[in-house]
Structure 1
Amino acid sequence: MKSIYNRIFGLLLLLGASSCEDFLDVNENPNNPQDAPITGLMTNATYETALNVQRIGSITSNYVQYLASPNPASASDVMEPLNYSGTWFNLYNVMTDLTDLISKAEESDAGHYLGAGQILMALNLGMTVDIFGDVPYSEGFDFSAVTPAYDDDEQLYAEVLSLLDQGIQNLAGTTAISIGDDDFIFQGDVDSWIKFGNMLKARFMLHTPDASANELLSAIDNGFEGNEDDAYVEFFEQRFNPWAQVAINNENLLLGGWISTQFIEALDGTSYPAVDPRLPLMIGTTDDGEFIGVPNGAGRGNAPEQGARSTLIPGQYYTSELSPLLIATFAEQKFIEAEAALNSDPNRAYAAYLAGIEAHMDMLEVPEGEKEAYLSDPGVSMGAGSLTLDDIMKEKWVALFLHPETWNDARRFDYGYKDMTLPANLNTDLNNQFIRRLPYPDNEVSRNGQNVPEVSLLDRIWWDE
C-alpha cells in the first residue's frame, strides 16, 4: 500500500502547489494548470478531505476538552473568536476541486467517480455548515460571482443528504472509467464507497432533529460492517500524520497537544468508576509516569517544565508518523446506532453501544483481558434496561478522540458530559455559556461583507436550536 502512495506522491505535490485558488479569487494564475485530470482531482480531494477533518479537529479538540493549552487564558481554550480564514480556504478549495471532478465525471459517464465526488462534496459541505452555519454554495463555485450569496444552513443540510443519496445511487450503477489508486481512501473499492456513503448519511441524519430513526437505522444496515471498513487516509515517509507532527513539535518545545484534565479524569477512575485501559494507548504520562492534565483555560500552573503534564506523544495509535487519519469509523457508526435505537429498541441500542466500545478498543489493540475486564465492569456493562444517552455519549466521546464530530455531539448534548465544566478565564462575551459556532473568517468579512451574516459565538447552527 505504501508503495502506491509513494508513486503518486509527486502528483500530489503538484496538485498541492497548483490546486484551485480561493473561490473568490477570479484572476487566473498563468502558472497553474487550468484543466486538471479527473484522476488528479480524486487524489487531491481524498487526501485533502482527510486533512480537513484533522484541521477542524485541531480547532474543536479544545472545545470538547480533549486538549488544553499550557498557557493560561489561551484564546483556543477560553473560546475567543479567532480568524479561521485558512480553514475556510481549505474547505472551499476541496469543494472547488470536487465541483470540477463532478462535472468531468458527468461529461465522461464516469458514474463511480461521480458518486465518490458527490459523497466527498456532501462531507466537506456538511463539515463547513456544522462549524459556520449559512455559507455560500449555490453561487460558491461560480467564478463570475465575486461576492457569492449565502445559503440557508438548513437547506444546505438537505443538499448534503441529497448528495449522499445521489452518490450511493451512482456508485451502484455503471461507469465508463473505474476508480483506482488515485483514490487515497478506498483505492477504488466501490463497495467501500457505498458503505461510507450510508455511514455518512446516518451521521448527518443524527444531527437532524426530525430525521426518521427507521431511515437512519436503515442507512446503518447498509453501512460499515467492521473496523476493516473504516474510512481513512494513510500517510507515508514524505508527509507525517499531522497529529504525529504535533507530538514531535511538542517534544521540541513547540508546545501543542497538551491533554485536558477533563479527558484524563474521565478515563483514570476519577469521574467514572472504571479505569479505562485505553488511556495509556492514547496519550503520554508525565516524566514521573503519571497521567496529569491541564485544566482548560487555567494553563499548567506551577509546572512550567516540560514533562510535568501529559501530552500527545510520538508513536501511539493517533500520533505515529504513518498513522491513518480517520474520517469515519465503524466505532462511530455503532454509537450512532445506539443513540438512534435507544428509545425504540433498547436491546439493539445496548448491543451497538458495547460493539462501539469493543471496536475502538480493537483499533487501539487493547489486550484481550483488559478489554474484557472493562466491558464487564458494572459501570460499563449496565444492561439494556439501564443504558442511558449519557452512557452512549461518554463512550462515543472517548472513541472519537481528536475528531471534529465530537463538537457536533457536544452541542447536541448541550455539553452535558459528566464533570465537563466551563474553562477558566472564559471569554466574557459568552456569558458563562459554551461556544456554539465559529466566527466567519476575516478574509470573507473583508471581501464579501455585505453577504456575511452577523452572528455571535452563541448563535446556534440550525440543528442546534
Structure 2
Amino acid sequence: MARPLSLLFLAVVLFACGDLEEFNENPNAPSIEQASPDLILPKILYEVGNELTSSLAWGTGNTLAQLVASNNFTGTDRYLLGSYGGTWNLLYRNARDAQNVIALGERLNNPNYQAAGLLLRAFCMQFLTEMYGDVPFSEALAGKTEGNFQPAYTPQREIYVQLLADYERAADLFDPTVGLNGDILHDGDIPRWIEFANALRLRTMMRLEDKWDEVGLSAADLQSFVSEANHMDELEDSALLPYLPVGANRWPQHTGRVGGFDEKRMSVTVEGVLKELNDPRLGILFRPVDNPDSDEYVGVPNGLSEDAASNYNGGALNQSRLGTRFREEPDAVDMVFIHYPEVQFLLAEAAEKGYIAGDAEAFYLEGIRSTMAYYGTEATDEYLSQEGVAYTDDRDENLRLIARQKWLSLFMVGLEAWFDYRRTGMPELTPGPDATLDHIPLRIQYPDEEQVLNTANYEAAVTRQGADMIGTPTWLLGE
C-alpha cells in the first residue's frame, strides 16, 4: 500500500504546483504595460529632487564648494567622501522609471510623456557621470528587458554626446497642445518644460567648453542654440519643486535631528565674500552667533579636524548657524534642478568669452537681481555699483565676478557649485589644514558593490579612466 500512496501524493503535488502558477503573479505589482505615467512622473521628480537637495546639497555640495563648513562630523570637509552608493542606486532606479515613462508615452501616443521621460533620464545619467566619470549608460537600463545585470561602463565622451542629443530631442518632442498629467513641477505648462530642457542643454554645452572639439561642438553651435531656442526669461520659469508646508513632503531639516542641522555652519570663505560686499543674503542664509554677548556673524574654516572645528572661536555658541529658513520654516527650501539665475550667469560667461553675441554685463546683473529676488531681497544700485560687484573693462576680472556671483546663487543647488568649480577653478577655494587632498576633489569613488557585482566592467573602467580615487580626473576634467 505504501507505493500507491506515494504515487498518489506525488500526483497531487505535481497537480497543485501546476495550479499554483497563477498565484506566482502578484496582482499588486502591475507590469509596465499596466502602469500609468502620471503616477510615475511625480515619483521621479520628488525622489530625484529630494536627493539633490536634502541629501547632496545639504550634506556635500555646499561643503565641497565651501559655502558652509562643519563643526562636527567633519569627514566631508576633509574629503573622506565615501562612494555614495545610495545616490547611485536612486539615480539609476529613477532613470529606469523615466525610461518606463518614455515607453508609456509612446504606447499612449503622448509626446509630452516621451519628452519628460527623456529629459529626466538624461538628467539622472548626467548627474551620475558628473559624479563618477565613466558609468554604465548604454547598457545600464537593460536588466529586466535583456537580462543584462552587468552593464559595461560607457566612456564619458560618448555619454555627453548622447545627453546633448537627448535634451535636444526632448525639447523638440514637447507639444503644448497635448496634456501632461502628474506634472508636479510645472503643472502641465509645456513651454516651461521646453525651457527646462534648453537650460540643461546650455549648462551641458558650457560644461563641455574645453572638450567642444571632441564632441563636435563650436561657439557657432552655441550661438545658434542661444539665438533659436526658447529659454527661461524670468525667475518663475525656474525648474524647481517646492517642499510643502504640511505633511510628509516638508523640508526634512524642519523635522530632522537638531544635531544634524546644527553641525552645518557658515564657512569662513563665504563669510569673507558676504561681509566684503555688505551682501543682504548674509542674514538670510545665516544667523548671528548664539552667544548672547555677541551679534556677530562668524564662519568656521573648512577642512578642520573634529576637535579644531568644534572648538573654533570658542565653540558652537560663537559660530553662525544657517538661517531660520533652513530649520524653522517647513517650505522655504526648494528642490532646484536648474534655475533662472544660473542660466543668466551661463549666458554672461558665454558672452564675456565671445562665444555668443549679447550684453554680458546685462546677463550678469540680471543673474544677481534674480538671485536676490529669489531670497526676497533686492540688489540695490549701491550694491551693484560697488567694487567687487560692478562690471569692469577687464575680461578676466569680469569672469571672476560672474563666477563668484554664480557660486553664491548655487547655494543648495545639488552639487552644481562643486561641478562648476571643477570647470572654472573659481572662486578660489583652498582645502583646509586637515584635508586629505591638497586640491578640491575631482570625482566620487565608485560604489563598493560595483567591485563585487560588476567586477570585470568596473576594472575595465578603472583601467581606462585611472585609479578609482577622488583625485583622479575624468575625461571631462582631463587635458
What residue ranges of structure 2 are gaps of 5+ in the alignment? 1-23, 463-467
Q: Does 1:201 align with 2:207?
A: no
Query: Does structure 1 retain, via aligned residues, the 8 Å contact 2:71–2:316?
Result: no
Give, in angstroms, the shift of residue 313 of structure 1: 3.5
Equivalent position to 2:475, from 450, 462, 465 = 462
Equivalent position to 1:225, from 229, 233, 254 = 233
RMSD: 2.5
Give, in angstroms, the shift of residue 247 of structure 1: 6.0
Give, in angstroms, the shift of residue 312 of structure 1: 1.8
Q: 1:249 to 1:102 in 2, by over 3 A?
A: same
Q: Deviations over 1:301-356 (max 9, x none)?
A: 24575432112233369964353222111100000001111122686111111110
Could you say which residue in structure 2 is the equivalent of 1:292?
298
Query: For residues 295 and 148 of structure 2, what CA distance do their matches in structure 1 show?
Result: 57
Query: For residues 107 and 56 of structure 1, what CA distance do their matches in structure 2 show?
Result: 35
Count of residue pairs brought into register by the alignment: 422
What secondary structure sits across from 1:121 in the alignment? helix
Q: 1:304 to 1:104 in 2, by over 3 A?
A: farther
Q: Does 1:39 align with 2:46?
A: no
Query: For residues 29 and 388 of structure 1, what CA distance do their matches in structure 2 show?
Result: 61
Q: Does 1:66 align with 2:67?
A: yes
Give runs of aligned pairs for residues 433-448 of structure 1, distance below 5 A: 433-448=439-454
Q: Does 1:356 align with 2:367?
A: yes
> Higher helix proportion, which one?
2
Query: Does structure 2 retain, via aligned residues, the 8 Å contact 1:277–1:371?
Result: no
TM-score, normalised on structure 2? 0.82
Query: For residues 259 and 425 of structure 1, what CA distance do their matches in structure 2 show?
Result: 18
Could you say which residue in structure 2 is the equivalent of 1:365?
376
Give, in angstroms, the shift of residue 49 of structure 1: 2.6
Query: For residues 114 and 267 of structure 1, what CA distance do their matches in structure 2 show?
Result: 43
AA partner of residue 422 (structure 1): P
Give, in angstroms, the shift of residue 249 of structure 1: 4.0
Q: Deviations over 1:102-143 (max 9, x none)?
A: 111112111011111111112111111111111112211111
Query: For residues 237 and 473 of structure 2, what CA distance do their matches in structure 1 show?
Result: 33
Could you say which residue in structure 2 is the equivalent of 1:21?
none
Q: Does 1:375 align with 2:377?
A: no
Could you say which residue in structure 2 is the equivalent of 1:328?
338
Query: For residues 84 and 266 of structure 2, what CA distance do their matches in structure 1 show?
Result: 23
Q: 1:220 to 1:232 in 2, by over 3 A?
A: farther
What secondary structure sits across from 2:317 in the alignment? coil
AA partner of residue 463 (structure 1): L
Query: For residues 29 and 392 of structure 2, what CA distance do their matches in structure 1 show?
Result: 59
Give, in angstroms, the shift of residue 241 of structure 1: 4.8
Structure whose alpha-carbon radius of gyration is higher: 2
What residue ranges of structure 1 are gaps of 5+ in the alignment? 1-26
Could you say which residue in structure 2 is the equivalent of 1:163?
166
Q: 1:141 to 1:226 in 2, by over 3 A?
A: same
Q: 1:32 to 1:310 in 2, by over 3 A?
A: farther
Give, in angstroms, the shift of residue 205 of structure 1: 0.5
Q: 1:28 to 1:402 in 2, by over 3 A?
A: farther
Query: For residues 266 and 220 of structure 2, what CA distance do their matches in structure 1 show?
Result: 38
Query: Does structure 1 retain, via aligned residues, the 8 Å contact 2:326–2:332?
Result: no
Give, in angstroms, the shift of residue 33 of structure 1: 3.9
Give runs of aligned pairs for residues 12-411 of structure 1, distance below 5 A: 32-35=29-32, 36-54=35-53, 55-57=55-57, 58-71=59-72, 74-143=74-143, 144-172=147-175, 175=178, 178-180=179-181, 182-208=182-208, 209=210, 210=212, 211-221=217-227, 222-236=230-244, 237-242=246-251, 245-246=252-253, 249=256, 251=258, 255-269=262-276, 274-287=277-290, 288-298=294-304, 299-302=309-312, 306-315=316-325, 320-344=330-354, 348-367=359-378, 371-383=380-392, 387-403=397-413, 404-411=415-422
Give, in angstroms, the shift of residue 361 of structure 1: 0.7
Give, in angstroms, the shift of residue 81 of structure 1: 3.9
Query: Does structure 2 retain, via aligned residues, the 8 Å contact 1:49–1:94?
Result: yes
Query: For residues 115 and 319 of structure 1, what CA distance do their matches in structure 2 show?
Result: 34
What secondary structure sits across from 2:337 in the alignment? strand
Q: 1:173 to 1:330 in 2, by over 3 A?
A: closer
Query: For residues 249 and 399 of structure 1, what CA distance do their matches in structure 2 show?
Result: 25
TM-score, normalised on structure 1? 0.84
Give, in angstroms, the shift of residue 41 of structure 1: 1.1
